[in-house]
Structure 1
């Protein structure tokens, strides 16, 4: 436990793991009711299965490979707290025997992304369902990438402060409207799986990059699923 905390605190020195005995001391409304019950469970295998059932309930067969990987390699889930902000720490021992730490933020977090908040009702329902009922982002703890980023970090592609020099190098006319597009997945290296809410039927998305030619008409969930598992490995 101490080795894990030492590692976590290299990135956030005030981070702490909440013991089961402390759960009842958390003020009502700060975490989902389901989390209250989840972290009273002493058996970590039961905790894991209960949490994965939440994933399956709200996103169905989407992220199938991610959920299957977690089902096989997830070692534990613990409640984590930083400055009265709560999230779930996923401890994964991957197929190579390496330990990875992923953070699943609280779906009750306040909305801190003005552009996205104005457009939230136009974002596909399944994406909203994940953020509102499973996690406000699920990503590698050390890099805050290789997953669905928290709402505050979702990239508005139309932001005038962003330099999309790739636009001058496009091999064909741009096929999305940057003013209505948001990057929900980040690989931490300037690439995003983005939704243009004016053209997102059937989970249609774009793999948008600051450096590479975009890939249009990709399936949002399939692409995110593939990239998350790449991150695990």
Structure 2
């Protein structure tokens, strides 16, 4: 536990690992029911089974990730940073090393107003994750390589992109002002959805240094890229 905390505090100096018994009633009530059940389980195995059972409800979105968790999940801790409580997943990667992923509390998310005003235009498959499973699920050290938390969502036109000097933005089949990146690989590639699209399963990959890749199966890409990030 001390080694884990020492590692985590390189990235979040104030992080704490909590016992469920340390929470008062108000704090406990802010946790999703599956968190409450998991951390009141009688054993670590039962705790992990409860959490993995919840993930099973989202196999459409995270089939590869869920399968990887089934085989490589070591532990899940309740953590607190800056008064925010999250789950910390300890996983074994392909090299046999432990890596950490953070899943934030879906019940305490703060949706930015510009995103909230168009929340119902976001595909239900995303809203289900954000409302029920986690408010984002990312590699702890970089806060990327996974589904972004809602507080980090933005529209593409809110950023300056050097690639716009090389491509004709007017020729793109989507508008930057309608497009949200839901996944970042931390190296300038973003899996995005165009809110004006009638196809709720497709999206595109936006790159900071080359033309976008169109007509991708959005969840398949997010799922596979997330799994690849864990394996590394």
Same fold (TM over 0.5): yes
**Counterpart mapping for 1:21-40 below 5 A:** 21-23=21-23, 27-40=27-40
Listed one character per residue, the Cα deviations across residues 165-197 of structure 1 (whole Å, up to 9, x for unaligned) are 212323892121111110010111222101101
1:216 aligns with 2:214: yes
2:34–2:54 Cα contact (<8 Å) kept:
no
TM-score by length of 2: 0.93
User: 5+ unaligned residues in a row in structure 2: which ranges?
Assistant: none
**Following TM superposition, by how much is the alpha carbon of 1:23 offset from its aligned partner in structure 2, in angstroms?**
4.7
Q: 1:156 aligns to what?
A: 155
Q: 2:162 aligns to what?
A: 165
**Following TM superposition, by how much is the alpha carbon of 1:202 offset from its aligned partner in structure 2, in angstroms?**
4.0
1:63–1:225 Cα contact (<8 Å) kept:
yes
2:34–2:51 Cα contact (<8 Å) kept:
no
Distance in 2, matches of 1:116 and 1:156, equals 8
**Counterpart mapping for 1:48-197 below 5 A:** 48-57=48-57, 59-159=58-158, 162-170=159-167, 173-197=171-195
Indicate the SS of the match to 1:192.
Answer: strand
Distance in 2, matches of 1:171 and 1:136, equals 34
Distance in 1, matches of 2:107 and 2:53, equals 19
User: 5+ unaligned residues in a row in structure 1: which ranges?
Assistant: none
Indicate the SS of the match to 2:22.
Answer: helix
**Following TM superposition, by how much is the alpha carbon of 1:54 offset from its aligned partner in structure 2, in angstroms?**
1.2
Distance in 2, matches of 1:115 and 1:200, equals 21
Indicate the SS of the match to 2:14.
Answer: coil
- Equivalent pairs counted in the alignment come to 230
**Higher mean Cα deviation, 147-156 or 105-114?**
105-114
**Following TM superposition, by how much is the alpha carbon of 1:104 offset from its aligned partner in structure 2, in angstroms?**
0.2
Listed one character per residue, the Cα deviations across residues 115-154 of structure 1 (whole Å, up to 9, x for unaligned) are 2111111000010000000000000000000000110111
**Following TM superposition, by how much is the alpha carbon of 1:53 offset from its aligned partner in structure 2, in angstroms?**
1.5
1:199 aligns with 2:197: yes
